[in-house]
Structure 1
Amino acid sequence: VSVASGKLSKVTVTDQAGKEVAGAISADGASWAPSANLSVASQYKVTAQAADDKGVVATAESSFSTLTPKQDAGPHDNIGDNATYGVGMIVRLDFKKPVKNKDDVVKNITFEASDGTVVKGHWFGNQRIDFRPEKFWKSGTKVTVHYRLKSVEVAPDVYGGVDSDETFTIGRDKQSTVDAESHQMTVEKDGQVVQTIPISTGASSPKSWNAYNGTMVIEAREGSAVMDSSTVPGLEGTPYKHPVPHSLRLTDSGTYVHGNNWSDASVFGHENVSHGCIGLRDAPGDKGDDSTPAGKFYADSIVGDVVTVKNSVGDDVKPDNGLSGWNLDWKNW
């Protein structure tokens, strides 16, 4: 808002909901500017008063519309509003278009945690940013994510596309540790060991069957999931495609904790025979049996629960494979 002659004495700008826009008149009285960028695809009403050098006051009203973006980056996250997640939950935000102005994006995404936990983002490439605290969340923490990306130009002529708030809660603290050498999974809840489950994980040979070492997080509860060897690049052995019960996804590349209803019961706790997953004894049938070790573990698991694998002959899981960002130290996050 500007004046050709005289000085502005008062400027009121309101949005289409009637809310006044914060702003200030310049020191010389020649112009007014908003304190923050205006929203795109929006209408505004202006009422301005100005006085000339003789003190004559004039008032003028006008309205204008801001540009309507032709493209938006299509951001989407992995959070369900008012959902409950495990202590290892990482908020993942993916964009359908490459982001160039990363700093502007980060400045317009804020986290509000009930216990004051500080959250920081880390970019994996130019279309994905993950957010987490330095250490696992504390049980009971309520978290609200504030997205204010609608009017952010994330790349030339591409805007963020969304203004929204999403709230989630951190549930009980469940962390499981898989020891590939002893073939056992130790389950802790709220700091106490509650169960040790015999398992069978990735075979030592061939290499493509090795289980990953490192801290992983349940990113999806998939029930009976179809395991298809053709979707795993470089996987050796006889091709397969069949439903597997009680499947909890740990990585994008296809690592699961799941029911195994084809191996003999003597395998669990004694041999590693899987193609890289963590198998728990289950009953025959596409859906297995909820009363088996696999069924009970599945029923008691939520997205965000932590599963750590140690003593495998395999490689360390990469931080961008699923919600595995806990394997990147805070200094480099």
Structure 2
Amino acid sequence: MKARSRWVLVAAGLVAALGLTACSSDTSGTPAAPATGAHSPTAQAAPKPSAAVAYTPTAGATDVNPVAPVSVKVTDGTIQSLTLTNPAGEKVIGKLSADHTTWNVGEPLGFGKTYTWSGTALGADGATKPIAGEFTTVTPNGTIGTRINTGDGKTYGVAMPIAVTFDAPVDDKAAAERAMTVRTSVPVEGSWAWLDDTRAHWRPKTYWPAGTEVHVNLKLYGVHYGDGIYGADDMTADFSIGRKQVVKANTQTHRLKVYRDGKLTADFPASFGMESDPGRVTNSGTHVVMSMHESYSMTNPQYDYYDVVVPWAVRISNNGEFVHGYAPSVWAQGSQNVSHGCVNLSPADAKKYFDSALVGDPVEITGSDKQLDAADGDYYDWTVPWDEWKSMSALAQ
């Protein structure tokens, strides 16, 4: 009985409480108090922000690379006016973004110069803020210039290497190589290789495809080569690869054959370097046509001849090897090797070959016991096996 009584009392108390809750809002007659917060008559609108200006590089920066990114960015506002001037007061070329919030420099800067910002930014609050400050570019310990062997608008043979020569030794070859690119109109596998501290060559794995268009871009200005030495200039070259012509010459058969697009177009009797004298042997290996001369004066004090003028001379190495006309050796051409290392043809045959040739054509010589190599200077590129050539890239280290 006691347990039941306690339950009844608890239940009754719950009902009473529920009853009070249900009736309180309907019977009080007192209006509800107004809510406070965002819709309160006393709330204020948030103030609009003023413009914030960020500089790259930071104001007052020194030793800035002249090709590093340079910009001004405004948040919570826009750029009203902006100029960047050099020490002579000349404006630096730049570009303003379409939304007028960012300005980027549009040209390389100079070494060892102080550049000054001036202008204004308009904030969302309607207030203007000055754009001002300066930075200074690095003063190098020295600069290194470059040269390239290919010319704009020129057409070369299928063995033509791209040769970049630096005016002084380059310590950080990887930095230089990353800044040198080669683009082609058709896929071509190729690689840079460093022949020494001042020479980098690019060549394909195999001969260039005929008709290839090539663009070389050397973005070397401002590249740090180490020890405070920087690249002095940028350079580009746009050239074409012509028809495929390959010369195959054999010192034992005494013939020089010309193949155009795989077809034999000429077969000339020739005389090569005399094998009995090591100093006169014509090197075996893939040579490259380097230059062409309607006449050329030959001098070799070691063999006591001076200013011997020969016609239709096509240089194929830096060691004095040419394909050229030479009437005094016509009697030996096709049967004996009597030259001092050059490939002798009759003047008439030399003219025919000369008229068919391009700088960059391969001249493949076989038959002698002496091989073309690095001692013979540019261009011995094709005598280096492909895997070895790739290993000579600074980026392969």
Q: TM-score range by the shorter chain?
A: 0.7 to 0.9
2:304 maps to what in 1?
Answer: 238
Q: Is the contact made by 1:209 and 1:276 (CA closer than 8 Å) also made in structure 2?
A: yes
Structure 2 counterpart SS, 1:262 = helix
Letter matched to residue 276 of structure 1: G
1:104 maps to what in 2?
Answer: 175
1:119 to partner: Cα distance: 3.0
Tell me, yes or no, if structure 1 residue 271 matches structure 2 residue 336: yes
2:42 maps to what in 1?
Answer: none
Q: Is the contact made by 1:118 and 1:133 (CA closer than 8 Å) also made in structure 2?
A: yes
> For 1:48 and 1:200, how far apart are their aligned partners in 2?
79
1:222 to partner: Cα distance: 2.6
Tell me, yes or no, if structure 1 residue 71 matches structure 2 residue 136: no
CA distance 1:320–1:167, shift in 2 (3 Å): farther
Query: Which structure shows the bigger proportion of residues in helix conformation?
Result: 2
Tell me, yes or no, if structure 1 residue 321 matches structure 2 residue 377: yes
CA distance 1:157–1:299, shift in 2 (3 Å): same
Structure scoring higher RCO (CA < 8 A, sep ≥ 6) equals 1
Q: Is the contact made by 1:98 and 1:155 (CA closer than 8 Å) also made in structure 2?
A: no
- Equivalences for 1:194-213 in 2 at 5 Å? 194-213=265-284
CA distance 1:48–1:210, shift in 2 (3 Å): farther
Q: Is the contact made by 1:260 and 1:281 (CA closer than 8 Å) also made in structure 2?
A: yes
Structure 2 counterpart SS, 1:266 = coil
1:40 to partner: Cα distance: 3.9
**CA deviation vs aligned residue, 1:62-103 (integer Å, no higher than 9, x gap):** 344524656332211111111000000001111121111101
- Percentage of identical aligned residues: 27
Tell me, yes or no, if structure 1 residue 164 matches structure 2 residue 164: no
Letter matched to residue 93 of structure 2: G
Tell me, yes or no, if structure 1 residue 154 matches structure 2 residue 216: no
Letter matched to residue 261 of structure 1: A
Tell me, yes or no, if structure 1 residue 297 matches structure 2 residue 353: yes
Tell me, yes or no, if structure 1 residue 173 matches structure 2 residue 244: yes
The farther-off stretch of 85-94 and 67-76 is 67-76
Tell me, yes or no, if structure 1 residue 187 matches structure 2 residue 243: no
Give the paired residue count.
303
**CA deviation vs aligned residue, 1:200-240 (integer Å, no higher than 9, x gap):** 1111111100010100100111331221113xxxx5x4343
CA distance 1:319–1:171, shift in 2 (3 Å): farther
1:139 to partner: Cα distance: 0.8
1:20 to partner: Cα distance: 4.4
**Residue 93 (structure 2) aligned to one of 18, 22, 25:** 18
CA distance 1:61–1:242, shift in 2 (3 Å): same
Letter matched to residue 262 of structure 1: P
Q: Is the contact made by 1:45 and 1:62 (CA closer than 8 Å) also made in structure 2?
A: yes
> For 1:253 and 1:21, how far apart are their aligned partners in 2?
56
Structure 1 counterpart SS, 2:335 = coil
Structure of greater Rg? 2
1:39 to partner: Cα distance: 4.4
Q: TM-score, normalised by structure 2?
A: 0.68
2:325 maps to what in 1?
Answer: 259
2:3 maps to what in 1?
Answer: none
1:123 maps to what in 2?
Answer: 194
Unaligned runs of 5+ in 1: 23-33, 283-291
> For 1:203 and 1:293, how far apart are their aligned partners in 2?
21
